[in-house]
Structure 1
Amino acid sequence: MSGVSPSRRHLSIWLPFLPTDRIRRDRGLSSRFAAPGDGPALVTVGKRGSALRLSAADAAARALGLAPGLALADAQAMYPALDIVPEDAAADRTLLEWLAEGMEAWTPLVALDPPDGLLLDITGCAHLFDGEVAMAAAIRRQLNARGIHARIAVAGTVGCASALARHGAEVAAARGRERALLAPLPLAALRLDDNRIRGLEEAGLETVADLLSRPRAPLAARYGAVLLHRLDQALGLVDEPISPRRPVPEYLVERRLLEPIGLESHILAALAALGDLLGGQLETAGLGAARIEASLFRVDGKVERLTVGASRPLVRGDEMRRLFADRLAALKDGVEAGFGFELIRLAAVETARRPPRQPGFDGAAALDAEQAFAGLVDHLTARLGAAQVRRLAPRDSHVPERAMALAGAGDRPPPAPAPAQDSQIPARPFRLFERPEAIEALAEVPDGPPRRFRWRSAWHQVARAEGPERIATEWWQAADDGLPTRDYFRIETEAGLRLWLFRAGLYGRETDRPSWHLHGVFL
């Protein structure tokens, strides 16, 4: 059985009155906490089976003995003046997500612990906030200022931190004392299902200490392996990593500001400075930033995120600053600064190899031109959006209308090989019709080029012809693709038109009446 690293630290936040806190916030009472005698007790109700029952109760309601699960009729019979609101799980989840996003200012490793909790991996972070006790107190103050009750515990395991926050006397930091602190807690602290808890209680087991004093094998045989698994997770004998809401980039820098900022010029200056720091990390690894995300944390907990892409790997802060300036200029109302941003984080969400460049070599001019074009693409993409800036890219198909597709302008598709050319006329037109146009054609032999054809109501006499170039459906396509074999001809009419046309269908093998089509014009 593998143990957990003793250096890991987890912080659990339990929000015991999340639904009622949300309702008070919505009513503009975010600065008040309900207490006995402070207005009518607030509860939320939902249907459970065939009856309406309390799904949440604020502190005032709980002081009156009202708890989730009680039938609404019984609660009203005892206290007719209750403030009753229908439950709204979706709104509660939205508030939990919003709170989790604000917690990313403390650590990027934040996970939901639904329906009413958050989990933070604070390994290596607490010293930035004067230790775990000070960090937990600061987080609690921040949540209280937003009208949210919170109980917080810190421990070496997710299971222990969650158990202490929900079922123990609130502990700011439990280092090396997990076993002793878990022992007096009820079995519900191990996050077991109700049926298993009832079975354990019927056997006289009520606390974690009761489990610790019993042989493991009989417990596993009678109550299932999940019981011991949960116990081992809480004790740190089995690892239980959290699943962060957002993946944490490998390359990330941040700056916590002494005074909140809100002016765009100040934001861009901070991003440029952070860009140089980020670029230094990337350059050491031989990489550059291909996609960059800036996270701006407001004083009130809201987070503004800006993402820009680069068609070439970047390592310089001034280049990143220009992209973010273009991105901000494209926003109709800019970023909403509120009372200002107190933390700015810059991350390389995607990276790419950055080949070293030798100044003064013969290809420097070509490389400069390529970088200038890449800069133009990045500028347009940041202003207009990636979907609006496209380029043609080759596809793996012999069929002309399938051979090219629109791709992101910053993508670097492999170069398409030029088709073989056996004359001064280009092998294929630079521009094709969107759809081949049907024509009437007369040929001297069934497999030969046309001698005359009618296109757009006019007859044309062929002076010269080259071909055929045979193109068949790709073998990897479905047999019922419906595309017959094509024989393409480059022809020049007596009037000087140079055209690219084809006969669809092999005479005598695929059809007895091949059709003719005009696909493009040579300029």
Structure 2
Amino acid sequence: MAGLPLPQAGEAKKAELPSVVVAKDHNAILLHAVDEAAVRAGLSIGLPLANARAICPELTVYDADPAADLKTLNDIADWCDRFTPLVALDAPYGLFLDITGCAHLFGGERALLQIVTGALSRRGFAVSAAIAGTSIAARTLTRTASGKIVADGEEAAAVGPLPVSALGADAAVTTGLRRAGLKTIGDVASRAPHEISARFGAAFTTLLGHALGQGDAPISPRKPLPDYIVEKRFPEPVATDTVIALTLSSLAKMLVAAMDKQGKGARQLEASFFRTDGAVRAIMVETGRPVTRPEMIDRLFRERLDALNDPLDPGFGFDLIRLAAGRTEIVVQQQRDLDATIHDNDELSALIDRIAARIGGKRVVVYLPLESHVPERSALALPAQHHLAAAGAAAWPERVAGEPPLRPLRLFERPEPIKVPFATVPDGPPHQFTWRRAQHDVVRVEGPERIAMEWWKQDGASLTRDYFRVEDAEGQRFWIFRDGLYESELRDEDGKPVPANWYVHGLFA
């Protein structure tokens, strides 16, 4: 039977050295966190680093990293989502888990507490946890009575013997309580509330009442509670694509069945994959119309999974897969047998949803007209999933039958400069121009069309543009403009006229 290698003497000695984390506070470097060896050496949080080095010269010092601490706390919160969807941060180091109605799924409150603390301890975290009827009572117990489970109505008896420091109040309040001879929470609770409020403020009185089970402070979950949740737990981790796909399909059927009972469809769906090593991967898709068919949900997630830049990595396997409908709507029943327009709209909406699932919803846009005569500001691009109906009812200017289009089919987001060697002045078009290093000889011209800019937004730029529809010798048609009026009196250093600035703004079909 093979055994683990024992640490060498030097390694054991190094492991016993106290370690602390320091942070700067009011231009002083103070101890921010200490390990058990540092506590045995007489160090405590808040002690200046210079004093700590005097007490323990062999001290190992690390700089605090609040950003990394917050990321780790959020990662742990993601992992805790497998136990309850109501997980809230209690910064800087705590979490609240509302396990109402969830504990029986894990064998009861005691079993759930052991599962959570045991899993985190195996990953190297020092964990202190407790269960109580109020969040403040549970947090108070974690500071001095880890592992305790308190039934509803017994919070006062449970926290009464604890020191006043367990309440987590300001240091000035805790010091004032001790100087007044109130060393335990029970001592403070024995005084009349108006006496405590007069001396230590209403905020502390409220905190004390919540710790005693007299009301509770609401917690703010990190994520809004979905409208519907279905999930599948596996006795053994799964890692194959086939099992994952089959699981998503079965969950989609369960989700649709639950929504159908209330006549609703999903507009936002999220699939969460919980790995055995604690990592969590969430994939979200949105739809333009409420989805009521499981095969559509299955297809959307297949499109999304196939298009991931970072493929879904099961690692050692998933032990939980969850499908949630974050936003739902009531499905309006329509007569679909005789109205072909409704079928066309449904197919278009389904196509947009599939494309959005693959490349992202913000990349599939529709254009709505705006009241502006400036070409680049006369249309607004919006996500097609949410504005498809508005785009269908938009009133665009109608084209005159038999006449060429006034605006190009393709309009550039920003006009691109072109080189014009000469043009008919003062208001004439160019006879030749160079765009993207290609020369174009103009053979046909329509214009000019003068468009005045919005003078209150120009900030010193030109206020007029003269647009021309031009065609070159190869049959290509361009929409070009001269920026500003032609100033023939302007001359360069050699005495030659300074040409106006020309741009190409779009291409006709």
Structure 1 distance, partners of 2:300, 2:166, is 49
Structure 2 distance, partners of 1:251, 1:269, is 20
Q: 1:357 to 1:271 in 2, by over 3 A?
A: farther
Q: TM-score, normalised by structure 1?
A: 0.75
Does the Cα contact within 8 Å between 2:73 and 2:93 map onto a contact in 1? yes
**1:46 lines up with 2:22 in the alignment:** yes
Determine which of 382, 394, 409 is the counterpart of 2:368.
394
What is the match of residue 89 of structure 1?
A: 65
Determine which of 192, 202, 227 is the counterpart of 1:250.
227
Determine which of 345, 369, 372 is the counterpart of 1:370.
345
Q: Percent of counterpart pairs with the same letter?
A: 38
What is the SS of the residue equivalent to 1:249? coil
Structure 2 distance, partners of 1:490, 1:251, is 56
The amino acid of 1:417's aligned partner reads: A
Determine which of 406, 416, 419 is the counterpart of 1:428.
406
The amino acid of 2:64's aligned partner reads: D
CA distances 1:326-356 after superposition (whole Å, capped 9, x unpaired): 2222235621212211111112234455432
Structure 2 distance, partners of 1:348, 1:356, is 20
The amino acid of 1:136's aligned partner reads: L
| Cα RMSD for the two superposed structures | 4.2
Structure 2 distance, partners of 1:192, 1:325, is 51
What is the match of residue 488 of structure 2?
A: none
What is the SS of the residue equivalent to 2:319? strand
What is the match of residue 114 of structure 2?
A: 137
What is the match of residue 266 of structure 2?
A: 289
Q: TM-score, normalised by structure 2?
A: 0.76
Does the Cα contact within 8 Å between 2:19 and 2:37 map onto a contact in 1? no
What is the SS of the residue equivalent to 2:131? strand
Q: 1:521 to 1:89 in 2, by over 3 A?
A: closer
Does the Cα contact within 8 Å between 1:191 and 1:230 map onto a contact in 2? no
What is the match of residue 306 of structure 1?
A: 283
Q: 1:520 to 1:68 in 2, by over 3 A?
A: closer
Does the Cα contact within 8 Å between 1:299 and 1:342 map onto a contact in 2? yes
Residue 159 of structure 1 deviates from its aligned partner by 0.9
Structure 1 distance, partners of 2:30, 2:448, is 80
What is the match of residue 20 of structure 1?
A: none
Q: 1:428 to 1:499 in 2, by over 3 A?
A: same
Q: 1:355 to 1:70 in 2, by over 3 A?
A: same
CA distances 1:73-99 after superposition (whole Å, capped 9, x unpaired): 66666666x572414333333332222
What is the match of residue 161 of structure 2?
A: 184
Q: 1:67 to 1:499 in 2, by over 3 A?
A: closer
Residue 426 of structure 1 deviates from its aligned partner by 5.5
What is the SS of the residue equivalent to 1:410? helix
What is the match of residue 108 of structure 1?
A: 85
Residue 193 of structure 1 deviates from its aligned partner by 0.3
What is the match of residue 349 of structure 1?
A: 326
Residue 171 of structure 1 deviates from its aligned partner by 0.9
**1:385 lines up with 2:360 in the alignment:** yes
What is the SS of the residue equivalent to 2:387? coil
Does the Cα contact within 8 Å between 1:291 and 1:310 map onto a contact in 2? yes
Structure 1: 5+ residue stretches without partners: 1-27, 30-35, 507-514
CA distances 1:428-467 after superposition (whole Å, capped 9, x unpaired): 3352553498996789xx9xxx9x98575978788xx9x9
Structure 2 distance, partners of 1:519, 1:96, is 51
Determine which of 381, 400, 403 is the counterpart of 2:378.
403
What is the match of residue 260 of structure 1?
A: 237
The amino acid of 1:200's aligned partner reads: L
**1:199 lines up with 2:199 in the alignment:** no
Structure 2 distance, partners of 1:373, 1:66, is 68
Residue 69 of structure 1 deviates from its aligned partner by 4.2
Does the Cα contact within 8 Å between 1:269 and 1:321 map onto a contact in 2? no
**1:218 lines up with 2:192 in the alignment:** no
Structure 2 distance, partners of 1:148, 1:517, is 63
What is the match of residue 186 of structure 2?
A: 209
Does the Cα contact within 8 Å between 1:499 and 1:518 map onto a contact in 2? yes
Does the Cα contact within 8 Å between 1:271 and 1:317 map onto a contact in 2? no
**1:274 lines up with 2:251 in the alignment:** yes
Does the Cα contact within 8 Å between 2:442 and 2:470 map onto a contact in 1? no
Structure 1 distance, partners of 2:442, 2:37, is 92
Q: 1:488 to 1:174 in 2, by over 3 A?
A: same
Residue 377 of structure 1 deviates from its aligned partner by 3.1
Residue 320 of structure 1 deviates from its aligned partner by 1.6
What is the match of residue 127 of structure 1?
A: 104
CA distances 1:49-90 after superposition (whole Å, capped 9, x unpaired): 67765443334544555443456666666666x572414333
The amino acid of 2:62's aligned partner reads: P
Does the Cα contact within 8 Å between 1:395 and 1:402 map onto a contact in 2? no
Structure 2 distance, partners of 1:417, 1:283, is 36
CA distances 1:232-286 after superposition (whole Å, capped 9, x unpaired): 2223434311122222222222222232211112112111111122223334444
Does the Cα contact within 8 Å between 1:288 and 1:351 map onto a contact in 2? yes
CA distances 1:444-491 after superposition (whole Å, capped 9, x unpaired): xx9xxx9x98575978788xx9x999976679x758696757899999
Aligned length: 470
Structure 1 distance, partners of 2:460, 2:333, is 47
Residue 106 of structure 1 deviates from its aligned partner by 0.5
Structure 1 distance, partners of 2:290, 2:460, is 41
Structure 1 distance, partners of 2:310, 2:145, is 47
Higher relative contact order (CA 8 A, sep 6+): 1
Does the Cα contact within 8 Å between 1:187 and 1:197 map onto a contact in 2? yes
Q: 1:471 to 1:39 in 2, by over 3 A?
A: closer
**1:149 lines up with 2:126 in the alignment:** yes
Structure 2: 5+ residue stretches without partners: 6-11, 434-439, 486-500
Structure 2 distance, partners of 1:111, 1:342, is 23
Structure 2 distance, partners of 1:226, 1:234, is 13
1:52-91 to 2 correspondences below 5 Å: 54-63=31-40, 65-70=42-47, 84-90=60-66, 91=68
Residue 166 of structure 1 deviates from its aligned partner by 0.9
Structure 1 distance, partners of 2:63, 2:482, is 69
What is the SS of the residue equivalent to 2:229? strand
Determine which of 418, 427, 430 is the counterpart of 2:396.
418
Determine which of 48, 72, 76 is the counterpart of 1:99.
76
